[in-house]
Amino acid sequence: MIPEVFCIPEGIVLVFASRIPRNLLTLALLVILVLLSALPAHLTPLAPVATASAQSPCDGLIEPRLQNGGQARVITTYGLSMKNEPRTGAAGAVEVALLTYDTVVTVTGGYTCNLGYLWWPLQLPDGTSGWAAEGGTAGDYYMEPVTVGLHSFVTRDDGATLDHYWVTPDGAAELRGTISVTPVETTPADSWQLVEVNRLRELLDDARNACPDRLTGTEFEGGDVVGSAVEIVCGGGEQAGQQRGAHGGLPLGERVVEADHVEIGPFEPCFGHGLR
């Protein structure tokens, strides 16, 4: 058995010691070479192995809407527990305050995500500080941003228009819109609340007892003084516009108290503040 030496491309030398005839061995090597040359065109390179990355604790949670330095309002009707650290009670945190619905707090720092919730550092008006969750899974919010301010209404055009302003604690006033008011003639009996009618009764009784001469020659002299007073027509100008317009066109959920001062009798000399 004589060794056979074959030289192939790429500088490779194959040495065989075999009883196979040389011509058959040569044919086998040619087949192997053809197959080897065809392999690169059909093989797909292996994809690189992706490096595993740690999942963010904020993945799958709400998008934060609060801001450091801003204010927030509790919107969950069940209330919100404020903790001494950004974690649940089951994880060892201690409750420092229970924030009831509509409580307004100040955000004092940036948020952090922990145990399935997005937490913010907060401070109550009394100085109590802690952490509370803005929300958990996407769409599940417990607090919302809020701007503290006051609705103010200013009359113009002889009471035919109310300008609606939003006034913030820094004194800035933003015009939110205008409310058109159609002046109408009305009487206290039709437009006043019971508390206002009762107050009128007290003032008229005081006037009748303290300075009855002031009632002489007026519609309040004798008889049903209060009954006469509440039937006096308040003109269709500014006062009536204030009475009817101050209670309409307000934002949903907002309230405003408008004190309408209408002089209905000659009692100012009798009372320092006047009967209005």
Check whether 250 has a pLDDT greater than 60: no
Mean local confidence (pLDDT), 159-173: 89
Residue 276's pLDDT is 34
**Type of residue found at 104:** V
Inside any domain, residue 275: no
Number of domains observed in the structure of the chain: 3
User: Per-residue confidence at 131, pLDDT binned at 50, 70, 90?
Assistant: very high
Instruction: Decide if 173 is inside a domain.
Output: no
DSSP SS3 for 55 = coil
Give the tens place of pLDDT for each residue, 72-83. 999 999 999 999
Token code pair at residue 205: 């009784």
Residue with the larger pLDDT of the pair 40 and 214: 214
Q: Is 62 helix (H, G, I), strand (E, B) or coil?
A: coil
- Does 203 reside within a domain? yes
**77 and 136 housed in the same domain:** yes
Same domain, 141 and 204: no
**Which residue is listed with tokens 């998008």?**
63
Domain containing residue 8: 4-36
| 107: exposed, middle or buried (Cβ count in 10 Å: 0-12, 13-18, 19+) | buried
Query: CATH number, domain at 137?
Result: 2.30.30.40
Cα 242 → chain centroid: 31
Backbone angles phi, psi at 136, to 5 degrees: -120, -110
Instruction: Work out whether strand 173-180 and strand 161-167 pair parallel, antiparallel, or are unpaired.
Output: antiparallel
Query: Would you place residue 3 in the very low, low, confident or very high pLDDT band (cuts 50, 70, 90)?
Result: low
Q: Are residues 141 and 189 in the same domain?
A: no
Please indicate, yes or no, if residue 76 is contained in any of the structural domains.
yes
Which range has highest mean pLDDT (22-26, 93-97, 208-212)? 93-97
- For residue 225, is it within any domain? yes
Q: Is residue 96 part of a domain?
A: yes
Close Cβ partners of 263 (under 8 Å, ≥ 6 residues apart): 274, 275, 276
Q: Are 274 and 267 in contact (CB under 8 A)?
A: yes
Minimum mean pLDDT range among 13-27, 165-179, 233-247? 233-247
Beta bridge partners of 107: 122
pLDDT tens-digit map of 113-127: 999 999 999 999 999
Q: Does 58 map to a domain?
A: no
Query: Is 156 a member of any domain?
Result: no
